[in-house]
A and B are shown apart, each in its own frame.
Chain A
Amino acid sequence: MIEIKGLHKSFGGNPVLNGVNLNIQKGETMVIIGQSGGGKSVLLKHIVGILKPDEGEVWVDGVNITNMDNNALNKVRCRFGMLFQGAALFDSLTVGENVSFALKRYTALSEKDIQEKVKEKLALVGLRDIENIKPAELSGGMKKRVGLARAIAMDPEVVFYDEPTTGVDPIMADAINNLILDLHNKLKITSIAVTHDMVSAYKIADRIAMLYQGAIIGVGTPDEIKETTNPIIHQFITGEAQGPIPH
């Protein structure tokens, strides 16, 4: 479904992505792991088309979206949803307005139907009766849930998760993992998550890919990754300070 071919990206002369190649199949949950600041979020933003690569291509369902103009790209983006690390809720809008943001713009639904859809999506992430609250009044975990409700409001085919469990307590992190699994099972969506939280990665992933020094150095199922002989992947998943990865 999504094919990343030879992606290169540098910022101020510093290479962040150094020839990333990765295929994501329809309906699977792909988790990209890697060190903090290793380019995972940058990779995600290339797939969504927020960043343009210096070299390389991103293909979605056989269509090269790398150099698409904004109008064409927006049509592709209507099939995507994204949960940001800090939720990225619009703080000038209420929770209800955040969740209904794309529905009001891209659907012909009546105001009543939009409100029902907002309630339905909030209920899916375990929230109710908070439509009129501003994001500033929500806890970190609630913000992530609202961000998730906004991401799935348009019933997307692909949902991107940028560090879905970062910044929340372990219980809330597990609740978010369950939500991701639940949404995946209920809505049959393709999911791509980037994280350095291995508990989360093992729980939600169909396949895990490791990004290291700007390239994918290994891809496999959670069991294959656990039994890897690659010393870099082994050091990362076991979280040992000693090993080939400098710290």
Chain B
Amino acid sequence: MNPIIDFLSYNLRRMAIPVGGVGLLFINTIKSFRPPWERENIVNQMVQVGVMSLPVVMITGLFTGMVLAAQTYYQFHKLTVETAVGLVVGLSMTRELGPVLAGLMLAGRIGAAFASEIGTMTVTEQVDALHTLATDPVKYLVVPRLIACAALVPILTIITVFIGIAGGYVVGVKMFGINGTYYLRNMSEYMCPWDIMGGLVKAFIFGIVIAIIGCYKGFNTEGGAEGVGRATTGAVVTSCILILILDFFIVFIYKGLGVG
């Protein structure tokens, strides 16, 4: 056979297996959304995903907003349209930077934690033990993580966005002396509710991606500590790449729906 076709078919197969696996895990997780709920597990995951991630997203939002305001000011100052800095910061944070940067940071923090925790459970036979105790590992491990991510990644994104806008205001108004009233008026006049809603829908999708990829990599961990390390790295890299690719397509989906 042609070596190029061989190479392509081998690599397509290599890519198709994890794509199918992730899809199956997602379907199984949705099927497992039924009582009795693992309440204690859900609360624990919400603390891990939500409360423990607050410092990360706050720092991300603050410095992104401040840098964005500073860079925009330096360019806009040449054109004497400094008052539009607020609008640029607001739109960028709500539509793109807030959801994407929060998603990337959370993929690093939460995705890695999911993959390493479930990966360790897999290699030490704790996942097998769940089976023998008549407990579905998807319901016990994945459902609480998916609920926590789908519910809290959007909330963490809102926090990132607002802190980013606040950081931008401090830099633009207090540091560079832009008129505060114009700064806020431009922002509120040219932004619409969908700018925020669109960002939240993205964050919801990114939350699902982070949870499912992290859990999938964890369940498919092989070997000992080295395997757990590989799974953790794989979860972060895959989630980050998926977030960036999905973000690109969502922009066009919004446009197609007439809301972008």
Contact = CB atoms under 8 A, between A and B. Distances in A.
Nearest to A101: B133
Contacts, number: 51
Contacts of A45: 128
A50 B126 contact: no
Interface in B112-140: 121, 124-126, 128-129, 131-136
Interface residues of B, number: 12
A57 B131 CA distance: 19
Interface string A61-99: 000000000100011011011101110111100000000
Nearest to A105: B135
A85 B125 contact: yes
Given A88-B125, A90-B126, A74 B136 contact: yes
A60 B136 CA distance: 21
B134 A88 contact: no
B132 A77 contact: yes
Contacts of B129: 82, 84, 88-90
B219 to A, nearest CB: 13
A88 B126 contact: yes
A222 B125 CA distance: 30
**Could you say which interface size class chain A belongs to?**
20 to 34
A50 B133 CA distance: 11
Contacts of A89: 126, 129
Given A48-B131, A49-B131, A86-B125, 14 more contacts: A45-B128, A50-B128, A74-B136, A78-B134, A84-B125, A84-B128, A88-B126, A88-B128, A101-B133, A102-B133, A102-B135, A105-B134, A105-B135, A106-B134
A77 B134 contact: yes
A75 B134 CA distance: 7
Nearest to A71: B136
A86 B128 CA distance: 12
Given A88-B124, A88-B125, A88-B126, A50 B134 contact: no
A86 B129 CA distance: 11
Contacts of A151: 132
A158 to B, nearest CB: 11
B136 A70 contact: yes
Contacts of A84: 125, 128-129
12 contacts: A45-B128, A49-B131, A50-B132, A70-B136, A74-B136, A78-B134, A82-B129, A88-B129, A89-B126, A90-B126, A101-B135, A150-B133
Contacts of B121: 90
Contacts of A160: 132
Contacts of B136: 70, 74
A239 to B, nearest CB: 27
Contacts of B131: 48-50, 77
Nearest to B44: A92
A37 to B, nearest CB: 14
B125 to A, nearest CB: 4
Contacts of B134: 74-75, 77-78, 102, 105-106
Nearest to A74: B134
